[in-house]
Amino acid sequence: MLKLSIKEDAMAATSLPIPRPGAPLPGGMPLPEIYARVSRHVPAIEWPALAPDVEAILRLKRERNAVILAHNYQAPEIFHTVADIVGDSLALAREAVTVDADVIVLAGVHFMAETAKLLNPAKTVLIPDMAAGCSLADSITAEDVRGLRAKYPGVPIVTYVNTSAAVKAESDLCCTSGNAVEVIRSLGVKRVLMIPDEFLAQNVQAILPEVEILTWAGHCEVHERFTPADIREVRESYPGVTVIAHPECPPEVVAESDFSGSTAMMMNFVVEKRPSQVVLVTECSMADNIAAANPDIEFIKPCNMCPHMKRMSLKNIRRALETMTHEVTVDPTLADRARAAVERMLAVRT
């Protein structure tokens, strides 16, 4: 069941830009201005408890020559205060290549930190909590991929970035929800294996009927919970609402929606089309993170939260920079093959 909450008074919002990939740091920004970026989500009474961690993180980033890459599902007090680069998996992978720093802190989940390490082998990559996993990444092993290759010889294997480096190493190339269609088109084949997200593969199949897409039974534990009945319910309660669904949702949910795309595509859609009322059928924090920059839009918020993304906190980001833990490494025997799969994806024009 979709739980909804309406965002607070839009008039109280400060019109703020959404941090973009490659956006400048808020490093020199005074704390009151940083607070203004999250005042819709953090009550003034709670800010004194968070401000020391924000201040310490900004100082530690300068001392360590570190940057923080934060996924769009991070809580606003991370996304809007200490993150240097924010975005979806594709944006973070792209920006990770160009990062000019000695240390990368990944405020996201483990496979994202591994991807950052693959693309920056000489840099130190930290994740504040090693247990920040992903149900999709856990759904498939390298041995499973070798089994698929044996069963379907000659069929290219396109692997979602939400997988371990070991799984990427067994793949031909990677994709994200933002570029999956272009990646498969770029192969120019009639049949592909697209793993491990069954729903993403089925949603791409609907766009590319000319290609036979074989898949795996992996699911995102956040997006698989949405149902077509949820969408119908929200439309009944909010006639005229625009519904935007992430393609990790079941195809029946995407079919009930007005638009489907990666989190970056969702943001762009909202900014360009400016619907007066919108529901983003994805993880909870997405709406929070773009609401501040769009006070004229009413966000009706689904409350499915990713427990892995929410393992990140200002406290453990601060600890990561203080203690330089937890360092993410990739087995050197598979790093080159995994990197090649990611780089082949990045070479596809979107």
Instruction: By CB under 6 A, name the binding residues for ligand SF4.
Output: 109, 134-136, 162, 220-222, 283, 306, 308-309
Please give the biggest Cα pair distance in the chain: 61
Q: How far apart are CA 290 and CA 296, in angstroms?
A: 11
Asked if residues 198 and 219 have their Cβ atoms less than 8 Å apart, the reply is yes
Nearer to ligand SF4, 305 or 348 (CB): 305
Residue 122 pairs with which residues in a beta bridge? none
Nearer to ligand SF4, 171 or 186 (CB): 171
Nearer to ligand SF4, 264 or 306 (CB): 306
Q: How far apart are CA 331 and CA 72, in angstroms?
A: 28
Could you write out the DSSP letters of every residue in 50-111?
Answer: HHHHHHHHHHHHHHHTEEEEEETTS-HHHHTTT-SEEE-HHHHHHHHHH--SSEEEEES-HH
User: How many Å from the N-terminal Cα to the C-terminal Cα in the chain?
Assistant: 35
Residue 308 annotated as lining a ligand binding site: no
119: Cα separation from own chain's centroid: 17
Residues 6+ apart with CB under 8 A from 237: 4
Residue 248 annotated as lining a ligand binding site: yes
Which residue matches tokens 């937890």?
326
The distance of closest approach from Cβ of residue 223 to ligand SF4 in the complex, given in angstroms and rounded to an integer, is 6
Run of H or E residues at 263: helix 263-273
Q: Could you tell me how many residues make up the chain? A: 350
> Six-digit token pair at 219?
């699911």
The distance of closest approach from Cβ of residue 109 to ligand SF4 in the complex, given in angstroms and rounded to an integer, is 5
Nearer to ligand SF4, 111 or 269 (CB): 111
Which residue matches tokens 């961690």?
53
Nearer to ligand SF4, 34 or 85 (CB): 85
Residue 284 annotated as lining a ligand binding site: no
> Helices marked H in 10-46 — which ranges?
31-38
The distance of closest approach from Cβ of residue 309 to ligand SF4 in the complex, given in angstroms and rounded to an integer, is 6
DSSP-derived letter for residue 276 is: S
The distance of closest approach from Cβ of residue 304 to ligand SF4 in the complex, given in angstroms and rounded to an integer, is 9
Residue 73 annotated as lining a ligand binding site: no
Nearer to ligand SF4, 303 or 347 (CB): 303
Residue 82 annotated as lining a ligand binding site: no
Residue 162 annotated as lining a ligand binding site: yes
The distance of closest approach from Cβ of residue 49 to ligand SF4 in the complex, given in angstroms and rounded to an integer, is 26
Residue 256 annotated as lining a ligand binding site: no
The distance of closest approach from Cβ of residue 111 to ligand SF4 in the complex, given in angstroms and rounded to an integer, is 8
Nearer to ligand SF4, 197 or 256 (CB): 197
The distance of closest approach from Cβ of residue 36 to ligand SF4 in the complex, given in angstroms and rounded to an integer, is 28
Residue 161 annotated as lining a ligand binding site: yes
**Binding-site entries for [4Fe-4S] cluster:** 134, 220, 306
**Binding-site entries for iminosuccinate:** 71, 89, 160-162, 177, 246-248, 263
**Binding-site entries:** 71, 89, 134, 160-162, 177, 220, 246-248, 263, 306
